[in-house]
Amino acid sequence: MNYNIDSSLWGKFEDKEVYVWKLKNANGIELWFTSYGARLIKAFVPDANGKLENVTLGWETLDEYVAENGGTYYGAAVGRYGNRIGSNGTFLIDGEKYQLELNNAPSGIPCALHGGLKGFSLQVWECVEEFQDKNGVGIIFEISSPDGEGGYPGNVVMRVKYTLTNDNVWRIEYTATTDKATHISPTNHAYWNLDGIDAKTTVMDHVLKINASCITAYDAGMIPTGELRDVTNTPFDFREPTKIGEHHDDDDELIRYGAGYDINWVIDSKEDGLRHACTLSSEKSGRTIEVWTTEVGIQIYDGYYLPVRNAGVALETQHFPDTPNKPEFPSTLLKPGETLHSTTEYRFC
């Protein structure tokens, strides 16, 4: 099957051993993962001439990931809830109010972000399986989240299955169960620079095409208002391939709130199964990533606040932000006896 998987000890966090797994397919693509945050830490992908380079942002050591304490969320599996929850970090389930940990405050307005002060991205996951089969090579990580963690109700068990195929696809499959009604919306927070991380270029010349005619407009606290805003004649219209930097500095209220692009697009396709969310490409390197997902939205963040401004772009498939407080949005409520299923594919072309 021409696959390869290798693992090695990387260090320790809170007395737990942290490992790195290196997955390689028959075409030479390599994806490196660590159990700290179930993160993608390196992705070696060929350019138009076959040259392999790392195209995802990350630190070099475990200590650096731990020290930043979630400042970038480089490559992490984010949960319980990816993105922001407003109403001062609260929501109601069956009339009961839950107060989440507040760890973000755009424009001085507090909210809960990416699962709180110690979300899934800041914990060590257990690797429950390494596998090689006809679909590829991969690993399965699992994490158990106790009732009340981060303020969320329910004892939750989440698994994420990462597969690298010989078709040059990185497939992410999430499953989750709970013993009490709760809100769950996982995502992955990898940042991409298709010119290669060592090139030290921004992504402003990357070309982006987004299969979305609406965005979830937000207020100064970057919390959705509930409006699905048409992108026509706005800086958010990427229905035709457009450079990220072309309208990045336009005089637009939402651009000012987000210091560029940091917003959820509503994927147009309503078909069951995988939907084409967006395509990112670099004319310089000839690399392209297509993003396909079962999710209804995709948050695209151009990395304004990264250590090197705009050094990478995050393509985060998800349900919409603040869905627990927006009954008009597709629900993220998971009940006992149900299983969450979510799949995303990053297709390297």
Q: Is the pLDDT of residue 12 over 90?
A: yes
| pLDDT (0 to 100) of residue 2 | 65
Q: Cα–Cα distance between 136 and 345 in angstroms, integer?
A: 13
Q: Is the pLDDT of residue 173 over 70?
A: yes
Which class is 4-348 in CATH? mainly beta
Q: Is the pTM of this model over 0.75?
A: yes
Q: Cα–Cα distance between 89 and 165 in angstroms, integer?
A: 39
| pLDDT (0 to 100) of residue 4 | 83
Mean pLDDT of 116-139: 94
Domain range annotation of the chain:
4-348
Token digits of residue 236: 């958010």
Q: How confident is the model at residue 269 (pLDDT cuts 50, 70, 90)?
A: confident
| pLDDT (0 to 100) of residue 63 | 97
Active site residue 276: no
Q: How many CB atoms lie within 10 A of CB 241?
A: 12
Q: Is the pLDDT of residue 1 over 80?
A: no
Q: Is the pLDDT of residue 3 over 80?
A: no
Look at residue 208 and give its three-state secondary structure: strand
Active site residue 189: yes
Q: Give how far the C-alpha of residue 216 lies from the chain's centroid of Cα atoms, to the nearest Å.
A: 17
Edge-to-edge strand list for the sheet holding 156-164: 126-133, 136-145, 156-164, 169-178, 340-348, 288-293, 275-281, 207-210, 242-243
Q: Is the pLDDT of residue 72 over 90?
A: yes
pLDDT digits (tens, 9 = 90+) for 20-63: 999 999 899 999 999 999 999 999 999 999 999 999 999 999 99
Closest C-alpha to 191, from 22, 315, 43, 281: 315
Half-sphere exposure of 202 (CA within 13 A, CB side): 16
Closest C-alpha to 120, from 170, 57, 185, 173: 185
Closest C-alpha to 263, from 180, 176, 322, 307: 322
pLDDT digits (tens, 9 = 90+) for 215-257: 999 999 999 999 999 999 999 999 999 999 999 989 999 999 9
Q: Is 128 left (phi over 0), alpha (psi -120 to 50) or beta?
A: alpha
| pLDDT (0 to 100) of residue 200 | 81
Edge-to-edge strand list for the sheet holding 212-218: 191-192, 313-318, 297-301, 262-267, 212-218, 224-230
pLDDT averaged over every residue in the chain = 96
Q: Cα–Cα distance between 33 and 228 in angstroms, integer?
A: 36
Mean pLDDT of 121-147: 95
Half-sphere exposure of 145 (CA within 13 A, CB side): 30
Pairing type for strands 340-348 and 169-178 reads antiparallel
> Which residue out of 114, 183, 189, 319 is catalytically annotated?
189
pLDDT digits (tens, 9 = 90+) for 147-169: 999 999 999 999 999 999 999 99
User: Which residues fall within 8 angstroms of residue 179, CB to CB, at 6 or more apart?
Assistant: 147, 154, 155, 336
Q: Is the pLDDT of residue 122 over 60?
A: yes
Q: How confident is the model at residue 272 (pLDDT cuts 50, 70, 90)?
A: confident
Q: Cα–Cα distance between 316 and 324 in angstroms, integer?
A: 18
Share of the chain above pLDDT 70, in %: 99
Are 332 and 76 in contact by the 8 Å Cβ rule? The answer is no
Share of the chain above pLDDT 90, in %: 93
Residue carrying structure tokens 């731990």 = 66
pLDDT digits (tens, 9 = 90+) for 202-216: 999 999 999 999 999
Paired strand residues for 293: 275, 344
Are 55 and 196 in contact by the 8 Å Cβ rule? The answer is yes
> Which residue out of 53, 149, 295, 316 is catalytically annotated?
316
Which has more confidence, 9 or 135? 9
Q: Is the pLDDT of residue 125 over 90?
A: yes
